[in-house]
Structure 1
Amino acid sequence: MPSLTIHSYTSLVLVALITASSARSHVDRAVSSRERWTVGQIVQTSSGPVQGHAASNAGEVSEYLGIPYAKPPIGELRFQPPIPFNGTQIVNGASFGFSCMGTRLLATESIDPDSVQTLGMTDVAINLLQELEPSKHISEDCLTLNVWTKPQAGESKKAVLVWIHGGGFISGGSAVPWYNGQFIADQEDVVIVTINYRLTIFGFPGNPTSPPNLGLLDQRMAVEWIRRNINGFGGDPDRITLFGQSAGGISVDYYSYAWTTDPIAHGFISQSGTATSLVQSTKAEASTNWFNASAALGCGNSSSDHNQVFECMQRKPAADMLSVLPSIDFRKLSNIAYSPTVDDALVFSTYRERKAADLPILVGNTDFEAGLLRLFAPGVREDLWHVFNQRTYVCPAGERASYGMLTGTPTWRYRYFGEFPNLRLTTNPPSGAWHAAEIPILFDTIPTTAIANTPEQVAIGKYMRGAWAAFAKDPANGLTTYEDGWPQYSPSDRTLVRIGFDNMTGTNLAVGTQYDGGCPLSEAAPNQTTGRTKALPTATV
């Protein structure tokens, strides 16, 4: 070895030995940590030590529920951006925290018997509508999250999937049984986190003197908490993927455009919702909604002193505030009051010139989203539901996927087709693969009924969980090598993955434009507009 002196050669050997020893020590610590892990053990977090327990149906999974990530947004903190919660007292993670205050999805408290007859609604549908009603376990003190993990097995630092729930930004919560993460954590060697965020007027108030999109700021704070603390649960803060459905899918896509400089996440999954799915409120529209509520509560109107109105609204009982809020009219394709508002910081007036974070994305929708939504508006013509499907879900998914392709971002697109007897909502006409039908399949949380799961249903669920986990573990390449391989999306090629097509398992491919009638996919990148797909009409259903 003529080019090295004895001294330099010895130094290199010592460095190599030290490096190898350090690496071996790190591996030994990781193995030792897994061996020492006790199910439900206390985990130290910035919120305080958290005591968990064994998940109810997956005994090797540690479940930590109701962990506060932000201070309760009550009193003077109502209608204010979230503030991190820092604690030293032990957090009992035995039960879910309160769901955030929300409003009704049904316009009335009871299901219309005529709707049951007209649509041939099943018991599954009736039970689902009842479950969609706001939880009685609600409070403004709701900014909590939940963790499911199995550190004693598999990777020492696991990929993390963070679920953002749907509900039109006015309803829902992380305690919904469908969103229980124990089965994915048990089967796929990932950490699952689900979060709450403020809804309706509490999360999107429209008050002209404070930020409009508090619910989206809550989501960001939850993700920051996860980055700071997930290592203690066996998670990898450098492999966080956000996934969500409906309003949750929209939130994921909003996030991808809003936090480009420090996204924290390394991948995104938007299910049945993107940034252009919803007609966002303008500041003027949001302000009108705010003053409608303030006037109804005796706090003044737009001509009153805005600060006095704000202070009065902070003092009003939360239940009184909910009582004056309108319900959604599903017969009109219009924006939802007290929902995301254009501020050109978190929600943009146009996505034409915007660039999302250059991170992998999986985007898609179900085959017939309206199969659920028409329960809220029976009697609407089927052709108008087709317009609704295309405008709200199909075209936005295609546009977002095409945008990713054109910008060189690893992008995959799917369409979910699964139809099963114990998830059938209507028979006249059939509900098809309805809005949210994939969720209990993905989470393996199908409600127990007299009708058993079919073998195909079980197989498709396993396939989906594997795909979502593969993406989370390696967002740029995981799907490319999953099963028969998912090709990155290209509109004119057979790259749309049809999940559960004819209730079959496996990678079934089609050309995306086959389903995109009326969608301006060829102009996707320059026409990412605010929820109004220009090739489709604005319609009243």
Structure 2
Amino acid sequence: MRNTLWSITLFVFDIFLFVYGQSSTGGTTVQTQQGPVEGSIVTPGVRQFLGIPYATAKRWQAPQKPAKRSTTLDATSFGPSCPQSLTPITNEFLSLTGSGGQTTSESETCQTVNIWAPSTDRPQNTSVMIWIYGGSFAYGTTDFKYYIGENIVRDNDDVIVVSLNYRTNIFGQPNAPQLALSLTNSQNFGLLDQKAAIQWVSDNIAVFGGDPDRIIIFGESAGAISTDAYAYANPDDTIVKGIIQESGSLAGNSLLAPQAPESTVVSWTEVATSVGFADPLQLACMEIIPFQELENVVIALEATFAPVPDGITYFDDINERSAAGNFLKVPLLVGSNANEGDIFVVSLEVLELGGSIPGLTQEGSEDITEVCTNSDDNDNLTERYLKLLFNCPASITAAGRVDADVPTYRYRYEAIFPDVTNNRPDLGAYHSSEIPIVFGTYNSSAFTEPPSDVEITLSTYVQSAWVAFARDPVNGLTNFGWPLYNPNTASIARLGSTDNQTGVVFGSSATFDVGCDSTEAELSLVEEVFALTSGF
């Protein structure tokens, strides 16, 4: 009888651990569906769990659920990053941001999530923000100083932050013709990784104190495009309740439209040829070559691998789908930065644009150099970047959601801080400069300039806005004082502008969207430079 009672007691205790994710360690031991994980108290009030596998996948195969464990997983350090394509121009970009790059090793066993959750003495059953990093689908990792979710959770109740690793470049979307013949599903393995991670979070976040019915996804650049791809690929999804897109979306123009399949077929063939493989055994050989060798060849060739239309995860008729309302109709916060393109042009100039970068025609080089150096030209290259690659897609995406009666908010980030720009006035409010403000990770910059009081106050405001949206995507920002976006009214939230450096003022589409109907000639010129800066 005593043994029976003891067994029942243990069974009830196991259920308690699974439901509440708590133990005598103060909530740092959590029972996931795959087994227990042990995190840490990273700062008073915040639990941190790093490197938890959400899936397993062999090279160029779809992710599968990870195996169950009988032992406790040590979740106190980041898992390895997925293989990266870090070209010289990408490294220059990262250097200009002061980010310092990743610190973990790389591995193809890289499908992990990281979770920052409030300690168990704080309110639980919180909203959940899942972060998807950018990097032009060529590189990216959660082991990145600006992406740490600790400060958001420390300074805001009712929120958990999750980040996920996903495959990029040739490992994430190879577009191999031989593989296409053997697959009935998608070759966009990075996008499949993202979906698997979102599903894992939905299945497990309750034990970390999160509410699986209040999950949003947010990302920047390629990460923002990924959130849009998710919305179009999963119109009937019930997991994601809101989306934040920072400087990226699918709609707008040909430069952000899905990539033509034949272009990455060429990249695949070039890489395969460079490592000495040819048909018919090409695929089998490419599957077993060490990933470091493939990675090095991709970097040396500056080969581009991006998601391609497959009718499953990525589509080539986004404008038509938008007009038909064929997407996930959840509230959207979308925006761009005031000087998105400046950092791209500076990176090119640092690497001596005129002749050191392969693939640029002499005529194109002369045209672009003239545009880059003509500071009096209001239609210069950086302005075109802003409009054609970021501002106009944000405008078109927002308008499409409004037309479908989706609660939509739009922002424009305008702040410039010395510790973010390293005192370089030519960078402005550049592409990705809002990230340390959103995450409150400005102190992580490699630059020596300290954050200003204005910067700290603006970061608190922006964080509060993002969290308000996460808590209640439908009404959170309205209650926060933001109007729903309307192309005909002053409803664009200008963050950190000279009119209010620590908060918000509202501007109109008529002011910022002029020039979105640019000519094909202008698109062609910017497209040539965009091809060179595909590592951003």
Q: Normalization by structure 1: what TM-score?
A: 0.81
Which residue number in structure 1 is paired with residue 272 of structure 2?
294
Aligned with residue 270 of structure 1, among 236, 240, 245: 245
| One-letter identity of the residue aligned with 2:33 | S
Which residue number in structure 1 is paired with residue 49 of structure 2?
64
Which residue number in structure 2 is paired with residue 333 of structure 1?
none
Residue 224 of structure 1 and its aligned partner are, at CA, apart by: 0.3
Which residue number in structure 2 is paired with residue 170 of structure 1?
138
CA contact (8 A) 1:145 1:222 kept: yes
Report the identity percentage: 33
Q: Which of the two has greater helix per residue?
A: 2
Uncovered stretches (5+) of structure 2, i.e. residues with no partner: 1-15, 354-368, 373-379, 530-536
Q: Summarize the Cα distance change of 1:184–1:223 in structure 2 as closer, same or farther, 3 Å threshold.
A: same
Matched length = 467
Which residue number in structure 1 is paired with residue 167 of structure 2?
198
Which residue number in structure 1 is paired with residue 342 of structure 2?
371
| One-letter identity of the residue aligned with 2:111 | L
Which residue number in structure 2 is paired with residue 120 of structure 1?
none
Which residue number in structure 2 is paired with residue 104 of structure 1?
86
Residue 385 of structure 1 and its aligned partner are, at CA, apart by: 2.0
Residue 106 of structure 1 and its aligned partner are, at CA, apart by: 2.0
Which residue number in structure 1 is paired with residue 449 of structure 2?
451
Which residue number in structure 2 is paired with residue 318 of structure 1?
291
User: Is 2:64 aligned against 1:83?
Assistant: yes
Which residue number in structure 2 is paired with residue 421 of structure 1?
418
In the alignment, the residues of structure 2 paired with residue 309 and residue 66 of structure 1 have an alpha-carbon distance, to the nearest angstrom, of 33
1:20-59 equivalences under 5 Å are 38-39=25-26, 41-55=28-42, 58-59=43-44
Q: Deviations over 1:83-127 (max 9, x none)?
A: 111322321001000010011142497x6xxxxxxxxxxxx9846
RMSD: 2.6
Partner secondary structure for residue 523 of structure 2: coil
Residue 345 of structure 1 and its aligned partner are, at CA, apart by: 1.6
User: Is 2:459 aligned against 1:441?
Assistant: no
CA contact (8 A) 1:34 1:156 kept: no
Which residue number in structure 2 is paired with residue 232 of structure 1?
207
CA contact (8 A) 2:341 2:381 kept: no
Q: Normalization by structure 2: what TM-score?
A: 0.82
Q: Deviations over 1:203-242 (max 9, x none)?
A: 0111122432000000000000000000000000000000
Q: Summarize the Cα distance change of 1:135–1:296 in structure 2 as closer, same or farther, 3 Å threshold.
A: farther
**Which protein shows a greater Rg?**
1
Residue 39 of structure 1 and its aligned partner are, at CA, apart by: 4.1
CA contact (8 A) 2:96 2:343 kept: no
Q: Deviations over 1:8-50 (max 9, x none)?
A: xxxxxxxxxxxxxxxxxxxxx99x9699785452111123211
CA contact (8 A) 1:518 1:536 kept: no
User: Is 2:390 aligned against 1:393?
Assistant: yes
In the alignment, the residues of structure 1 paired with residue 241 and residue 307 of structure 2 have an alpha-carbon distance, to the nearest angstrom, of 24
Partner secondary structure for residue 78 of structure 2: coil
In the alignment, the residues of structure 2 paired with residue 183 and residue 507 of structure 1 have an alpha-carbon distance, to the nearest angstrom, of 21
Q: Summarize the Cα distance change of 1:36–1:292 in structure 2 as closer, same or farther, 3 Å threshold.
A: closer
Which residue number in structure 2 is paired with residue 351 of structure 1?
318
Q: Deviations over 1:130-155 (max 9, x none)?
A: 734x6561111111010000142443
CA contact (8 A) 2:233 2:313 kept: yes
CA contact (8 A) 1:243 1:269 kept: yes
Q: Summarize the Cα distance change of 1:35–1:242 in structure 2 as closer, same or farther, 3 Å threshold.
A: closer
CA contact (8 A) 1:47 1:68 kept: no
In the alignment, the residues of structure 2 paired with residue 481 and residue 535 of structure 1 have an alpha-carbon distance, to the nearest angstrom, of 44
In the alignment, the residues of structure 2 paired with residue 255 and residue 436 of structure 1 have an alpha-carbon distance, to the nearest angstrom, of 21
Residue 285 of structure 1 and its aligned partner are, at CA, apart by: 2.1
Residue 265 of structure 1 and its aligned partner are, at CA, apart by: 0.6
In the alignment, the residues of structure 1 paired with residue 59 and residue 135 of structure 2 have an alpha-carbon distance, to the nearest angstrom, of 21
Q: Deviations over 1:156-184 (max 9, x none)?
A: 31000000011111111001011001110
| One-letter identity of the residue aligned with 2:492 | L
| One-letter identity of the residue aligned with 1:214 | F
Which residue number in structure 2 is paired with residue 149 of structure 1?
117
Which residue number in structure 2 is paired with residue 492 of structure 1?
488
Q: Summarize the Cα distance change of 1:125–1:141 in structure 2 as closer, same or farther, 3 Å threshold.
A: closer
In the alignment, the residues of structure 1 paired with residue 89 and residue 382 of structure 2 have an alpha-carbon distance, to the nearest angstrom, of 19
CA contact (8 A) 1:162 1:193 kept: yes
Partner secondary structure for residue 161 of structure 2: strand
CA contact (8 A) 1:39 1:62 kept: no
CA contact (8 A) 1:391 1:533 kept: no
Uncovered stretches (5+) of structure 1, i.e. residues with no partner: 1-28, 112-123, 330-335, 521-531
In the alignment, the residues of structure 1 paired with residue 79 and residue 519 of structure 2 have an alpha-carbon distance, to the nearest angstrom, of 38
